[in-house]
Amino acid sequence: MKISRVEWLAIVLAVAAAAFAAGWFLRGQASPQPVRVEVERTLVQETPIALPSPTPEAAESDAPAAPVNINTADAETLMTLPGIGETRAADIIAYRQANGPFRMVEQLTDVPGIGEGILAGLIDYVTVE
């Protein structure tokens, strides 16, 4: 028995329609129903935390009492400045020995490792004479 082209097309369309209908009816049964979740919002009252402010004595003890002359200061004196440790103090002295005395405080930015931020912290504590 030979199936004609028209019969073959009718069989394929019937199978496709049956598969579509089965999927259509089973679709609602196989998928889970959506779940609704309600979230309760609670407000938390933030209480301010009081932080102790630094005492004037503590702030002054970190910095030198009088401005430091960066042209004559030794390494220990330079290390009393904020942001200046042993390495930067040595770099300042090396720069001073190689290039001569500083003509203005802003020249500290020419020293390797000292930028605008460190200079801003030093400006009130250093002088050039």
For residue 56, tell me if it sits in a domain: no
Enclosing domain of residue 106: 62-127
Q: Is residue 116 part of a domain?
A: yes
User: What is the total count of domains within the chain?
Assistant: 2
**Shared-domain flag, residues 15 and 66:** no
Alpha carbon 51 to chain centroid, angstroms: 24
CB 72 within 8 A of CB 126: no
Q: Assign residue 98 the CATH number of its domain.
A: 1.10.150.280
Q: What is the pLDDT of residues 67-96, one digit of tens each?
A: 999 999 999 999 999 989 999 999 999 999
Shared-domain flag, residues 68 and 24 = no
**Residues 66 and 123 both lie in one domain:** yes
Q: Are residues 67 and 118 in the same domain?
A: yes
Q: Per-residue pLDDT tens for 3-62?
A: 899 999 999 999 999 998 888 777 766 556 677 888 777 766 666 666 676 655 544 456
